[in-house]
Structure 1
């Protein structure tokens, strides 16, 4: 179930496979050292968050896109390159590294992570009901799970309506206890749901200034290929390594 487990001449981002056990994100920061505050009020601090109104609006006017909505024959902007991972087509940008997260027990690719400096955006695509409405159903479950884990979570207004922010306790590689903040963007399209989770510096900054803006652009440029297979809501849409990119990050010329 979703969330329950943890131009042709442009250079492609480096592609690296990591297992769930080896999964890395930019260094965890203690949210108590940041000025970020997570609450159920909007970022301006004016009153309660109008969740019902935010959920009723369409937030995909500038992407992310369904495969039927975009012409892939058109070249991306200079300095950017598309990488076709099957259910997701990601557009990389200069200085970004792409890591594919692999489940040890199945060796299935479960998510893709764009890393840029000390920030990261983890991307995953899932099946959703034709009628939509999966994201509102899942939020309370995510908040409850964060609380049970000893962390916290809250809803704020973000670039795609309701944004979920979490602070989860983690154990660092040297055995120390710390906290990992994150920001979760979710958009629903035709029978699919795209999730993006910000980690690192981008997770503790307010607003959409860099590095958040760079990862926001990358999220908007994702193209989802749902396929016609019958899938239960929340099922992961399968990812694959493209034929023209090897795990060492070398792209075959077209």
Structure 2
């Protein structure tokens, strides 16, 4: 399936999100239930649930948290929140960058319409492995108010419908905390360790 929006300039790109995003998620902090027991990771908040395990991915050189990994029901979901313009979206541009990067690595991609809008299914050769060994991943993205949330899905959710539904519900439950600090579009919204008392096993 071809993507017909990639030729537009970034400032012309409409926001890409489900019509019911503001009620069904992923949510902006202003849309979330303030009394729910979220685990606060800075740029995102995670709603604890049974068998959900949280991992923070840290950049070695800077010691900066650059992504949140969620292990759930045989699948993994990596999420990253980015600052975005108020009126235009980033997913069309970032989606094309993902496609180009995968192709550069010798992989293949397929763009299709999913529950969150356009998404990318990628098969990427595993470096140093057998020539026929590939890593599969599903890239999803949602443009919110002044933020963009990217998700990378792997594991059972790629081949099992029930597992896919669970990981999609997990992605919808994410709350993005943009904050009021001025940030250039595409900058990663700062992430941090959970506050004292919020154990990773709870998330």
TM-score by length of 2: 0.84
Q: 1:220 aligns with which of 172, 181, 189?
A: 172
Is 2:192 the counterpart of 1:231?
no
CA contact (8 A) 1:59 1:187 kept: no
1:1-254, aligned counterparts within 5 Å? 40=1, 55=16, 58=19, 60=21, 61-73=23-35, 75=36, 82-171=38-127, 175-176=129-130, 178-205=133-160, 209-245=161-197, 249=200
Q: Secondary structure at the match of 1:93?
A: coil
Deviation at 1:158, TM superposition (A): 0.4
CA displacement 1:96-119 (0-9 Å, x = unmatched) = 211110100011111111112431
Q: Given the superposition, is the C-alpha separation of residues 241 and 50 from structure 1 closer, same or farther in structure 2, using an over 3 Å criterion?
A: same
Q: Secondary structure at the match of 1:106?
A: coil
Deviation at 1:245, TM superposition (A): 4.1
CA contact (8 A) 1:85 1:241 kept: yes
Deviation at 1:196, TM superposition (A): 1.1
Deviation at 1:169, TM superposition (A): 1.1
Deviation at 1:125, TM superposition (A): 0.3
Distance in 2, Cα, partners of 1:214 & 1:225: 23
Q: Secondary structure at the match of 1:139?
A: helix
**113-122 vs 52-61, greater mean Cα deviation:** 52-61
Deviation at 1:176, TM superposition (A): 4.5
Deviation at 1:132, TM superposition (A): 2.1
Alignment RMSD: 2.6
TM-score by length of 1: 0.68
CA contact (8 A) 2:18 2:116 kept: no
**53-62 vs 139-148, greater mean Cα deviation:** 53-62
**Rg: which structure is higher?**
1
Distance in 1, Cα, partners of 2:27 & 2:201: 26
Deviation at 1:129, TM superposition (A): 1.1
Distance in 1, Cα, partners of 2:162 & 2:18: 26
- Which structure shows the higher helix fraction? 2
CA contact (8 A) 2:14 2:89 kept: no
- Count residues in correspondence: 193
Deviation at 1:59, TM superposition (A): 5.0
Q: Secondary structure at the match of 2:169?
A: helix
